[in-house]
Structure 1
């Protein structure tokens, strides 16, 4: 028996089948985040083709992730320093 969920999500007007162990609501949330990011970038760069738009979206999402990870690591370090 598989614990994988299969579903179709729509990102930037295209349907994509995705499979994952996460809940369907979480997978929809992730797809929604990607869709929102692509639409934000497309609004400011209307001449980008979909491939470049997808790559710029991935770069922006990776930047968000790296900044949050750095903040998390700094907070973790502060907590460790506070412990006796």
Structure 2
């Protein structure tokens, strides 16, 4: 990554601020952070846990589950289109 072109962006996830550098659009990184924060907030409400690591792991599992379901749907659609 070329540091002269990268932009420094601070994002907040679950009450903690993380500094990043990005070559892309800083707003996109902020959207991603907000998305992750939303999952962590939901996991925290469901588990009523104060353990940030546990909340992060539960959020990661939920995101992975969603990703795999969407990937399966996508693969099935691609297969249908290829059969035509």
What TM-score, normalized to structure 2?
Answer: 0.87
Asked if the contact 2:49/2:55 (under 8 Å) is kept, the reply is no
Distance 2:53 2:17 in 1: 15
Structure 1 stretch 46-55 or stretch 9-18: which is displaced more?
Answer: 46-55
Question: Which residue is equivalent to 1:14?
Answer: 16
Label 1:73 to 1:34 Cα distance change in 2 as closer, same or farther (>3 A).
Answer: same
Structure 2, gaps ≥5 residues long:
none
| Cα shift at 1:56 | 0.7
Instruction: Please provide the CA RMSD for this pair.
Output: 1.6
What TM-score, normalized to structure 1?
Answer: 0.87
Within 5 Å, which residues of 2 pair with 1:5-84? 5-82=7-84
Structure 1, gaps ≥5 residues long:
none
Moved over 4 A (4+): none
Aligned residues: 82
What SS does the corresponding residue of 1:22 show, helix, strand or coil? coil
User: Over residues 17-65 of structure 1, what are the superposed CA-to-partner deviations in whole Å (9 max), with x where a residue is unaligned?
Assistant: 1233331111111100100000011111112410010011111111111
